[in-house]
């Protein structure tokens, strides 16, 4: 991915906690050249809100990686973290999509 800048890398190493992770959540401008639907997902408010709420869980996952490999850095872990796949694996309702607005329920009358 390589979207973590040297400034952000220093910030993450100084703030190794969930707050630091919230600063590393990719947006539309820094997610490695994603285009089309993937790019619009990463830039969406729902995407960023979801990951802000999951920052503690992401940090705990990093800590488990750090326990196995003490040489690992938070910035490297986040740089290789698949933000988009984690979001796409959610159900449409959890992603904030409402398909019923475009495809209303069919009603049968007798």
**pLDDT number for residue 32:** 42
Residue 105 per-residue DSSP state: P
Cα(83)–Cα(37) distance, integer angstroms: 14
The structure's pTM equals 0.67
**pLDDT number for residue 65:** 92
**pLDDT number for residue 61:** 92
Cα(57)–Cα(93) distance, integer angstroms: 20
């Amino acid at each position: 991915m390589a979207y973590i800048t040297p400034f952000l890398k220093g910030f993450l190493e100084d703030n190794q906690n969930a707050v630091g992770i919230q600063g590393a959540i990719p947006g539309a401008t820094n997610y490695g050249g994603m285009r089309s639907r993937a790019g619009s997902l990463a830039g969406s408010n729902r995407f960023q809100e979801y990951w802000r709420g999951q920052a503690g869980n992401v940090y705990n996952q990093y800590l488990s990686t750090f326990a196995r490999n003490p040489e690992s850095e938070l910035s490297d872990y986040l740089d290789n973290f698949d933000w988009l796949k984690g979001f796409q694996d959610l159900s449409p309702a959890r992603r904030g999509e409402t398909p019923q607005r475009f495809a209303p329920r069919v009603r049968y009358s007798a």
